[in-house]
Amino acid sequence: MLKTLVLAGGFGTRLRPLSCSRPKTLFPVANKPLIDYTLESLSEAGVETVILAVYYMAEALVRYLGPTKNNLGILYLREQRPMGTGGPIRLAKDMMNGEKFMVMNGDLLTDFDYKRLINYHEEKGGIATVALTQVEDPYRYGSVELDWEGRITRFVEKPELGKAPSNLINAGIYILEPEIYDYIPEGGKVRIETEVFPKLAEEQQLYGFESHGFWMDIGEPVDYLNANAAVLARQRKVIKPDSIEIDPTAIINGPCNFGENIKIGADSRIGPNVSLADDVQIGKGCRIENSIIFAGAVIEDYSSVKNAILGENSVLERWVKVESGSLIGDFAQIGDGVTITEGVSICPSKSIEESILKPTQVM
């Protein structure tokens, strides 16, 4: 199977402040880091070598994965500065032995059939084949126009409203021939989506292969919550280890996924679509719904969390409400009676004593 380059160096800006302390690929989805899903799927497809292009928080990834996982050999390609989505491809040239290879964005959760994509690529014979998927909002992605022969005739990255060629978008998985190196200048930052694909499309060397499988990018908080809910739905039950203490009056509505050493107090209601990581403590009378709670977070009595993400070791005191796509940074503390709603993000270690009801970033 082809060597695979995984782009895992982005800053994850749209997931700040949670991405201030971990790379996007280590964000837990149903209590397992995203990168593990990627590596498992590549390993199942028969990939033997994965090259991780790393930059931002590279050490955290190297420490977590080491040199092998899931029967895969993992090599690291370290950038001195961000090289974009194309630069790492040029940089990896010597590792590919002049053969074709696969590239994928590291922030995806998908069950794409990589082998079908490769077969299609070989059939068509272009320099590059892009996996495509249908979405309702192509403006957040790279949108394509596809002709009847499967050629991409236009590739428009983040099109303006009303200007997307179609709802078919770049799913962030590519098969590339060695000729691709001729299209990527050496040594600098290159965005493959704006600097390479449009040119290949013009030269009729770019093909697209639509897949109807499961596909999600976890770039934004709502995507991340949806991806988590989708994985929980596939697990279809409440997953909980023995080390967890749930008061008999608490109600758990699946699907949920619980880590080790969790405590849940009397009359609390958890679920649906909730992940609680290790060492989370929840007091009495709490409500948690459609949310991701990172390790060691504390939610005191009568507090509620809905459609939100709480960072590691964050604390919600009593009668706190956190809602609507809000993100609470690691170690942040939200005082008694405070309401946080409408996409608010709170920086790590911050103390909040007053309610915040409109989209704000608290530094």
**Is 158 considered catalytic here?**
yes
Q: Closer to ligand GDD by CB, 193 or 323: give it.
A: 193
CB of 84 to Mg ion, least distance (A): 13
Contact status: 172 vs ligand GDD (CB under 6 A): yes
Active site residue: 115, 158, 163, 199, which one?
Answer: 158
Contact partner, 82, from Mg ion, ligand GDD, none, Cβ < 5-8 Å per class: ligand GDD
- Name the one residue in this structure whose structure tokens are 């428009």: 156
Q: Cα–Cα distance between 121 and 193 in angstroms, integer?
A: 18
Could you tell me which of 293, 259, 295, 300 has the C-alpha nearest to residue 273? 293
Q: Where are the beta strands (DSSP E) in 194-290?
A: 206-210, 215-217, 238-239, 245-246, 251-252, 256-258, 263-264, 269-270, 274-276, 281-282, 287-289
Q: Closer to ligand GDD by CB, 113 or 157: give it.
A: 157
**Residue 170 CB partners (closer than 8 Å, separation 6+):** 130, 131, 132, 141, 142, 143, 144, 155, 193, 197
Query: How many Å from the N-terminal Cα to the C-terminal Cα in the chain?
Result: 46
Q: Closer to ligand GDD by CB, 197 or 331: give it.
A: 197
Contact status: 279 vs Mg ion (CB under 5 A): no
Residues 208-227 that bind Mg ion (CB under 5 A): 217, 219
- Helix (H, G, I), strand (E, B), or coil: what is residue 232? helix
Contact status: 223 vs ligand GDD (CB under 6 A): no
Q: Cα–Cα distance between 270 and 249 in angstroms, integer?
A: 12
Q: Cα–Cα distance between 258 and 286 in angstroms, integer?
A: 16
CB of 109 to ligand GDD, least distance (A): 10
Q: Closer to Mg ion by CB, 14 or 306: give it.
A: 14
CB atoms within 10 A of CB 73: 13
CB of 142 to Mg ion, least distance (A): 10
Contact status: 107 vs ligand GDD (CB under 6 A): yes
Residue 260 Cα distances to 4, 78, 234, angstroms: 33, 34, 21
For ligand GDD, the binding residue among 47, 53, 96, 276 (CB under 6 A) is 53
Stretch that binds ligand GDD, among 65-73, 165-173, 198-206, 277-285 (CB under 6 A): 165-173
Q: Evaluate whether 271 touches 252 at the Cβ level (below 8 Å).
A: yes
CB of 65 to Mg ion, least distance (A): 20
Q: Closer to ligand GDD by CB, 53 or 65: give it.
A: 53
Stretch that binds ligand GDD, among 100-108, 263-271, 301-309, 319-327 (CB under 6 A): 100-108
Type of residue found at 286? C
CB of 281 to ligand GDD, least distance (A): 32
Could you give the angle at the alpha carbon of 223 between the alpha carbons of 218 and 224, nearest 5°? 60
Q: Cα–Cα distance between 98 and 82 in angstroms, integer?
A: 24
Contact status: 210 vs ligand GDD (CB under 6 A): no
Q: Cα–Cα distance between 145 and 16 in angstroms, integer?
A: 33
Contact status: 193 vs Mg ion (CB under 5 A): no
Contact status: 208 vs ligand GDD (CB under 6 A): no
- Over the window 232 to 261, marking each residue x when it contacts ligand GDD by CB under 6 A and - when it does not, the resulting string is ------------------------------
CB of 161 to Mg ion, least distance (A): 20
Instruction: Compute the 3-state secondary structure of the chain and give helix, strand, coil in percent, each to the nearest 5.
Output: 25, 30, 45
Contact partner, 84, from ligand GDD, Mg ion, none, Cβ < 5-8 Å per class: ligand GDD
**Residue 80 CB partners (closer than 8 Å, separation 6+):** none
Cα 87 to chain centroid distance, Å, stands at: 21
Contact status: 28 vs Mg ion (CB under 5 A): no
Contact status: 107 vs Mg ion (CB under 5 A): yes
Contact status: 225 vs ligand GDD (CB under 6 A): no
**Residues of this chain that bind Mg ion (CB under 5 A):** 107, 217, 219
**Residues of this chain that bind ligand GDD (CB under 6 A):** 7-10, 24, 53-55, 79, 82-85, 88, 105-107, 141-142, 157, 169-170, 172, 193, 217, 219
Active site residues: 158
